[in-house]
Amino acid sequence: MYLDTVKKKEIFAQFGGNDVNTGMAESQIALFSTRIKHLTEHLKKNKKDFSTQQSLIKLVGKRRDLLTYLQKNDIARYRAIIEKLGLRK
């Protein structure tokens, strides 16, 4: 699999503070962003893979919901994660 437990722990350690802090909004957003990038590359090669396209749409929605939650509750954390991941241009 493209995202094994070691890579997930690295993502959680980088964005969540430590590798066991998996529930933090920043770590979830970072994990979703990694998966979205992977699925986007897959869809560039396989244009007719509609199940992957549906999964990508669902992931983008989940990430958007978490970003909205973070924006409403703590704008400083929201701005920090946007800057780290480079989501806005």
Residues 16-71 have pLDDT tens digits of 888 777 888 999 999 999 999 999 999 999 999 999 999 999 999 999 999 999 99
User: 31-49: string of b/e by CB count within 10 Å (b at 16+)?
Assistant: bbbbbbeebeeebeeeeee
Whether residue 2 has pLDDT greater than 80: no
Q: In sequence order, what are the residues at sequence separation of 6 or more whose Cβ sits closer than 8 angstroms to the Cβ of residue 71?
A: 78
Per-residue pLDDT at 53:
96
Per-residue pLDDT at 77:
93
Per-residue pLDDT at 21:
79
Task: Report how far apart, in Å, the C-alpha atoms of 78 and of each of 7, 41, 86 are.
Answer: 23, 26, 12
Domains and their CATH numbers in the chain: 5-85 (1.10.287.10)
Task: Report how far apart, in Å, the C-alpha atoms of 42 and of each of 3, 19, 33, 37, 39 are.
Answer: 14, 27, 14, 9, 5
Whether residue 14 has pLDDT greater than 80: yes
